[in-house]
Amino acid sequence: MKSAVSSQAVESTTPNIDGFEIKRRPIVGFGLLMSSIIGSLAVLIYFGAWASSDRIENRALAAGVPESQAEGKWWEDGLMLACPLH
């Protein structure tokens, strides 16, 4: 069987549905989506570093050593390095 190739021209205009017409590309929507993702990651990193700092401090107090000598886990050290505020 051979498939029929359509020789119709493709319209390059925007769709018009019940008076709604898209006049431009959705750049604003993608920008808002990316800013939401970046903001969420920043908040997660900040609160993760805060919790890591608290855990390291509590472990140092329990062991009776200074906080600079307390050893953190790999994910705690990673969050502390990722957050510029901690």
- Rounded to whole angstroms, what are the CA distances from 63 to 25, 69, 70, 74, 75? 59, 10, 8, 19, 20
Phi, psi of 30 (to 5 degrees): -70, -35
In a domain? residue 82: yes
Predicted local confidence at residue 21, as pLDDT: 73
In a domain? residue 9: no
Provide the number of structural domains found in the chain. 1
d(CA 55, CA 79): 12
**Length, in residues, of the chain:** 86
The domain in which residue 51 lies consists of: 43-86
In a domain? residue 19: no
- 38: helix, coil or strand? helix
Q: What is the pLDDT of residues 26-71, one digit of tens each?
A: 788 899 999 999 999 999 999 999 999 999 999 999 988 888 888 8
